[in-house]
Every structure is written in structure tokens, then in C-alpha cells.
Chains A and B, each alone.
Chain A
């Protein structure tokens, strides 16, 4: 762990948050967000993402543990004093203030002169593409515009860390992709540290430098989107990020296994996969999209095994199917590019590359 800390470096050390309900909402988590990165907290509803975010903002104080911002301990510092801004899920725009007044609110309550505040607000509104809307009330804006005002209001303070709580959840589907691209683009242009909360894995992978996957108040895994998607270490992350099939397998010790590899048996097939990070791993994660129907075209080293189709549906970009292995285990597979659903009861053979399989705990 490096010890240098820039303005936007954020660190959690063994932070616990107990609301007094008996089961802590956040159970001793530690992580580090590097300056200028966008880190996403990802996890199912109720896993403690919002609580973590609110502790960064200072809206909740941790029950135990330490929070460092820019290398400084801010654990007990009040939200008003922390150099952190939050974009609320509901935007929380002040309904009685115009767009300009909303954006100027932060600077003026911190003692900036009105003309200076307006100048800064104008710059931010321009940056975010809201010039011309200054005198509107929030109720006179569309959802997407309100979202931008909320971001402008947070940005104008030039915070060390900018926080987003599910910023896309109140937008319609078409707008979501657009806004998420905008947020990412803005973040990279300004080089600002961001912590972003979502429960949508696609959204998380699209915007993040790093993803922290949370499960029931704990951090399951942290890594880049690619690393977590392709080589998860836990069943939870494998399932949550890629809906991978998680199967119990048998590990076979043999002298001829190449170093850095493990030999495993699944149904009737025996093959070598990359050695797991954690030695105790006894399960195999197989993403649905790694399978192909065997039409005698499989490349060398691919694993081939017979299955029976139990259900199948055509979903446009391919075909989904539930299949049964020879030992009775079920698999969910996605066959890209297939144009017809498979017939239930049919027996076929599937192939996949063992390099796409992961041993996990």
C-alpha cells in the first residue's frame, strides 16, 4: 500500500456502521480510492452501498474505524466541513430556488461573494450544457436537466471527491446510456475523484476505473471491471457480474499438470484451468457466453461435452438455453448468433475454452 495521498485520495480503514438494529449495515470494510479515479460501489439492494457513500459524505458517522481524505483523518468531521459533494438519487434540488440560485447555494453559504459565485456557477453551467436555464425553477426542468443541475451544484464547489448515489435510476432507459457517458467523460476531463453507487453491473463496468463489489455489508471483491468480469475470485461476484454458472468440481492432483494450472473434472471431462488466487477454491465459474455448439469447428484444447436441452428461447442477439450435463448438473448458456431456439430434449455437444473457466471459492 502506498502512503502518498493526493487531494482526492480516499481511504476507509476497518469502517463499521451499526444503526443499532443488531446487524451492522457495514461490517468493517477497508478500501482505497486513488486520486482522479472513478470507483463504483456495486451490489444488490440493501448491501450497504448508500450507507458507505453517506459515511464518505459525512452524513453518517462510522460506529468504528477511520476515514482518510487526502491523507487527513476526517472521521468525525461534519458533512458541512468536508470537501466532498454528493449528487443525490432524488437530486434534492431546492424547489424554491432557481437553477442559478441552486448552483450558487454552496459557494455563498461558504462565504463567497455573490458576483464571484455567479461567475463560477456560469462556468459550471456552461461546462454541463445548461446555459440559458439559469432562471428556471427545478419544477420547470426535465428529469435529465434536473440531474445536470444536481451535478453542477455539486461540481461548483470543486470538491476533492464527488459522490453519486444511483444517479441514473430516475431516468428513462434511453437517457441512461447517454448520461452515464457524460458523467464518465466529465470525470475524465476534470480528473476528479468520484465514488459512484449503482446496482446495475453493466452501468458499473461502463463507467468505472475500479469496482468494489459489496455483499451484505462486506466487500466481496475489488478490481478493474475486466478483472472482476473475467477472473472473479468468489461465487458471489461471478454470479453478480456475469451470471456465471457456479459448479462444484473435483480437483485432481497429477504430476503432469503444468505449473500455474490446476486439473479439474467436470462431468466426464478432465481439463486444466488457471490456478486460483485462493488455494481453497473448489468451484468452477463458467460464464454463459463462453459456450458454443460443437459443429466440429472447435479449436485445439477446447473442452467438449454432451448435454441435453431442457429449455430454450430466442432473444434476438442469440439463443438462451438451460441444459443438463451427463451427471445431472444444470447449466445456463447463451449462444451468440444462433437464430433458432433449440428443441427441448435434443442432445447436442457444447464446447468452451478452459481459459475462460475460473476456479473460485
Chain B
């Protein structure tokens, strides 16, 4: 009885969503905000009318299929099958019909949107094939969303009734929804941007056009100059060479630091751990600006050299060396976070075994320790590579004449040229680099996934490092640490002096300029120049973080806890955006979402969606790691006690996954606050963000405000992290003996 009422509730919800979406809310996207609810008074209007009215009064006859499908679903629901009394297979075929109707409904909403644009049929063959229609339509809105979701629920109900997912509607719904979202907001935009590269001037498919864009010497010119970033070297080679150097450099540095922390008596371990967290909450440009302050033409080092030895300052920092240096500082901590777990995971027993076989320290390190760490090293290398090719802030700040793909894509879109095809082809190349790196990493570690942590009985002492390795670790790690501290110190200094490099009198005018508050006749006035962008950034990041966590944990649940055909493909899709450089995602989003049926360019929604799906892989991976530590019998116990999937998720899994969820929340928030490459194309005057505002200041040479703003952002993020930990983390976790999985792993795989 309980079960029936639960199913019935689910079905009523689906029907209400569809009916409401058809009859009560505007079908199309509104010019102004949905949430001011002014449309309530104008539901008869051409733009605001719900679907039923659109069919009746405004000639949108093609929508008629949706109410018809709704009636069909209601017909099936009116005669539900009683599983206990039905003949064998009757339940299955009933479920199949329901699933089919639901699927057709959801796809029809989407399909008609793509098929019929503002000027009627979107393509010629559609007009040739289908009856003529008058007029067209613009982007879909709330009504379409509700109806599509309602039909998705119906489809899930059908699938569950057929007996899949152990008959659990929640799981079926989650799978369909997440798949639809990921296909729509990751897969579709990426395919769309690549497609753009294949279109000629007349927007017809043209391989010649593709080849022309692809084969430019600007991309592929190869000369000795490539090695030191000189001119005359193709942009593609620049990108690749920079990424290789960056990946190798961050991996070596990260390994040395990890060895320093785990395997030596170095006293500053806590400092290293602290410093390695900084880049995660540092807005882009900060490292670059600090490098300019230090090594630039007017930088301290150059001034010193000129003053002491009369060496004239040069501009060497602008180009490959500067970009590489900035990337090394920015991304080494990420490699460190990946590798510290790896170094800690090498079982001392194995090293002791090696030494008991008369291998000396170096032989042990070389033949046992290093090979055991190989998969971890490959992983760190991959992350460094991807970070480098996706990096936008450092090349644009320090690149000078040294162009890389991400900046070229930017100029193809925002420059005078506005060459979409070029942006498409460049994106394709960048994506190919990223996927190639993934493939290499997979291949390199395919048979080498050693389990080095065996659980119990690993009580041996880690063997001391060979002297050479230890000395190198100190010789490289300490200067790195010192320089990082100096760099951040410089930044702080820059925020509080008048004009950095010329007038070093103390001032807080940069903060005042950005964040002043006046008291006027209407009360408080936020007159500071940065308030607008800060407000947007906080709003969008706060909206994106919980969404990232929800979609991420749900995806992880589906991957870790259920079985379905195409599961590997599903996992690949959810993790895909990790391999897609931010610039490519940004370009992809404008191409995909500036035309109907999903027309959201210029809104805050597109930025939030971009945040969510760009940060999704971290949520997913963190979630999978956390699920791996939760015994499956806990879910099953809950199920046998009569809880459905949703209840189990809410009352058993969520509380136990709290650390992973907090990790995903914090990560989603922080990454959104600091991201620039992906959203640089997506912001409009209304939706300016902190990072884009900072770019503007940097490009104007207004470093003071840029740094003051960055420092403020860092403070906000630190406060947010502390607050979240304090709010969510207090209750009961302390009394539990089980180790809390989550944040550590989530950040480590973040990249």
C-alpha cells in the first residue's frame, strides 16, 4: 500500500509539472527576468503566453503534440498495472509504453526547439519534408523546462516500472536528468564549437575552409626559435612546448616538495602545506603581477642589477620564460597535492624488503620507490599539462609576442576579426592536445595501478632518501618556498603603495577606489568601482556551488552505486569537461547558447551553468572516492528497511558523505570565484565578474586596484571556507571513528 501511494505521488508530480508547464507559465524565454513575476499579468501576450495559448492564439501549431502526449500518458496512468495480479510481462510492456511516451515527450520539446527557429524551419530539408508553418519561435522558457522535466519523470517512471534499477524511480530520474544536463551543457557545446570550425563563409560544410584555418603557418611554423619562445614559431608548437615544460617542471618540483614534507626532518612542513593551498584561492594574475613587480623592466631585481652592476634592464620576463615561471609558481602546488598522497602511499615494507636484499638507498629509490610512484607522477604530469594549455591569465599578462592557443582563441572572438571558424579550429586543436595527453597518461599507467597501501600491518619505517635526492629537494624546495612568500609579500606591498615602482608611499586609496561606501540621502551608497562585479561574482558562485555539489554527488552515486548499460560513457561525459580548456568551454557556450532554443547569452544563468559544468569533474571524482569508502551494504540495509532511493540518499548517504559534499561545495565556490578563462566571453555589462574587472585594471596597468581587489577576494574565500567548515562540520563527525573522506581527495584531483 505504501508503495502504491509512493508511485502514485511520483506520477501525480509528473502530470502536474507537464500540465502546469503547458497551461500556466510562459512557454518562451522572457526578455526581462522570470522572477519579477510581471508576466503573471500578461499571460495572454504573444511573448508571455503559455503553450496552450500559443497553440490556440499565436499559431504555434507544432506544440499541439505535447498536450496530445500528455493525454496519452494520462490514459496509461488511468489503468496502472497491479504487479501482483498482472500476467507475466504485462508490467514490462506497460512500463515500456510509459517510458516511450515520456521519452518522446521530452525529446519533442527539445527537437521542436532546434527544428523551428525565429524564421521557421531551421534547415532546408526540414521545410522540404514537413508541412509549411507560419512564423517561428525564439528561445524556450520556464514552460518548456517544466514540460521537458515532467516528461523525463514519466520516462523514468516507465523505466523503473520495467524493473530496471530495481524498480527505483529516484535512480532512473537521476540518471536521465544528469545525462540530459551533461549532454546539453558539456557535450553539445563542445560538438557545436568543433562544428563551427568545419563551416565555410557561406555556413556550408567545407573541408577546404577547415584545412585553410588548420594549416596556417601561424599555427605550425617550426624553427629553432621554438625552444626559447622566439618569434617565428607557430602558436600550436608554443602551446605544446610550454605545456610540456610546465608539466615536467611542476611534476619535478611537486615531487621534491612532497619528498621534503614526507621523507625528511624538514622543520617548515606546515608552511609548505599552507603555501600550497594559496594558489587554489588566488585569483589569476596575482602571480603574474608579482613576477612583473619582481623581474619586470621596472622590477626590483632589475633595478638592483642596474644600480649595482649597471646592467640595463631587459624585457625577458615577457615571453616564454615569464609565462613558464608564472605557471610553475601557480601550478606546482597542484602537483604537490597530487603527489603527497602518492609519496605517503608507498609502502615502507617494500623499501625495507629492497634494502634487506642489499640494495643501497639510491638503488632502492631508483628501482622501487620511483616505479611505485609512476602512476602518480603520470597523473601529476597530466594535470600540469592540462592546466598549462588551459591557462589564460598568465599568457595574456606575460606573453608579449609569445602567443598560445588560449589567447589566440580569445583574440579570434573579441578582436576585430571575429572569426568564429578560426576559434572553432583552434579549440579543436587545443581539445586534441588535451585528449592526447589523457590518452598518453592512460596508456602509460594502464598496467601499473599498483595498490601500494595494503591496509594493515604496514608498520615499517620509510627508508631515508638518497643523499643526492635529499640535497636536491632542499636546494630546490627552499628557494621555491622563499620566492613564493616573496611574491605574495610583494603583492600585499603593491596593494598598499601609491604607484608601484615609482611612489612607494603608504596608501589605502586602491581599496577606497574599489570598495568605498558613501552615505547619501538614500542611505548607504556602494560607490566603489568594484562592488558591482563583486556582488555578481558572489551571487553566481554561491548559486553554482550547491548545484555543482548536487549534480556531482548524484553522478558519483550513479557511477559508484548502480549498474546500467553505457555506464562508462556516462562517466566519460561527466569527466569530459576536465579535459576541455576553459577558453574552449567559453567559446563553446557562446556558440551554443546565443541562438534559440536555449538562448541565454548575456544572462547570469549562462555563467552559473558554465561554473557548474566546468567544476563538475571535481565533484564527481571526489564523490566516487567517498562512495568507495562507504560500504554498499549501508544502502542495501536502508533499502530492505523500506526506504526508496531518494530517502536512502537523503537520510543515509548524504550525512555520511558530508565531508565530500563540503569539499565539493568549497571547491565549486572557490573555483567559480577565481575562474577567468571560461567566462571571459560570457560576461556582459550586467554580469561583469571580479576576474574580468581585474583583467580590465591589469590591462590598463592599474595594478594597485587589481591587487587590492585580489587580496579582498582571497580574504572572502578564506572566510567562506572557515564558515562552511564551522557551519556544516560540527555535528557528530567528531564522534565517528571512520576516517572522513572528501576534501583532500577532491582538491587533489582538482587541477
Contacts and interface: CB of A to CB of B under 8 A. Distances in A.
Interface of A: 57-59, 61, 72-74, 76-82, 84-86, 88-90, 92-96, 105-106, 109-111, 137, 139-140, 153-154, 157
Interface string B611-654: 00000000000000000000101101111111110010001100
B86 to A, nearest CB: 9
B641 A153 contact: yes
Interface of B: 2-3, 83-84, 91, 163, 166-168, 631, 633-634, 636-644, 647, 651-652, 655-656, 732, 735-738
Given A109-B642, A110-B2, A79 B738 contact: no
A125 B643 CA distance: 21
Contacts of B91: 76
Given A80-B168, A80-B642, A95-B656, 19 more contacts: A58-B166, A59-B636, A76-B83, A78-B166, A78-B639, A80-B644, A82-B640, A90-B631, A90-B633, A92-B631, A92-B633, A94-B638, A94-B656, A96-B656, A105-B638, A109-B641, A137-B735, A153-B637, A153-B641
Contacts of A110: 2, 641-642
B737 A78 contact: no
A109 B643 contact: yes
Most-contacted residue by chain B among A105, A139, A154 (CB, 10 A): A105
Contacts, number: 103
Contacts of A105: 638, 641, 643, 651
A72 B84 contact: yes
Given A109-B642, A110-B2, A153-B641, A76 B634 contact: no
Most-contacted residue by chain A among B163, B636, B640 (CB, 10 A): B640
B486 to A, nearest CB: 46
15 contacts: A57-B636, A57-B640, A59-B166, A73-B84, A78-B168, A79-B636, A88-B636, A92-B631, A96-B655, A105-B651, A106-B641, A109-B651, A137-B735, A154-B640, A157-B641
B735 A139 contact: yes
A77 B640 contact: no
B642 A157 contact: yes
A109 B737 contact: no
A74 B3 CA distance: 13
Given A106-B641, A110-B642, A95 B636 contact: no
A81 B3 contact: yes
B576 to A, nearest CB: 27
B642 A106 contact: yes
A90 B633 CA distance: 8
Nearest to A85: B640
A139 B647 CA distance: 23
Contacts of B633: 88-90, 92
Contacts of B643: 80, 105-106, 109
A84 B736 contact: no
A344 B644 CA distance: 65
A73 B638 CA distance: 23
B361 to A, nearest CB: 42
A62 to B, nearest CB: 11
Given A94-B652, A106-B642, A137-B736, A111 B637 contact: no
Contact of A79 (B166, B656, B736): B166
A96 to B, nearest CB: 5
Contacts of B732: 96
A79 B83 contact: no
Most-contacted residue by chain B among A72, A76, A110, A140 (CB, 10 A): A76
A76 B160 CA distance: 11
Contacts of B636: 57, 59, 79, 86, 88, 92
B546 to A, nearest CB: 21
A32 to B, nearest CB: 19
Nearest to A54: B636
Given A61-B166, A109-B647, A77 B638 contact: no
B81 to A, nearest CB: 11
A72 B82 CA distance: 12
**5 A-B pairs with the lowest CB-CB distances in the bound complex, closest first:** A106-B641, A78-B167, A92-B633, A92-B637, A81-B3
A85 B641 contact: yes
A96 B731 CA distance: 10
B639 A139 contact: no
Contacts of B737: 139
Given A59-B639, A81-B2, A95 B167 contact: no
A86 to B, nearest CB: 5
Contacts of A76: 83, 91, 163, 167
Contacts of A88: 633, 636-637
A105 B91 CA distance: 30
Nearest to B160: A78
A95 B640 contact: no
Contact of A111 (B2, B634, B639, B738): B2
A77 B167 contact: yes
Given A79-B640, A96-B732, A61 B163 contact: yes
Nearest to B635: A92
A117 to B, nearest CB: 12
A67 to B, nearest CB: 12
B4 to A, nearest CB: 9
Given A80-B3, A109-B647, A58 B634 contact: no
Contacts of B166: 58-59, 61, 78-79
A95 B738 contact: yes
B638 to A, nearest CB: 7
A79 B163 CA distance: 12
B16 to A, nearest CB: 22
A285 to B, nearest CB: 38
Contacts of B637: 86, 88, 92-94, 153
B7 to A, nearest CB: 10
Contact of B639 (A80, A93, A157): A80
Contacts of A85: 640-641
Nearest to B167: A78
Most-contacted residue by chain A among B633, B656, B735 (CB, 10 A): B633
Nearest to A106: B641
A157 B642 CA distance: 9
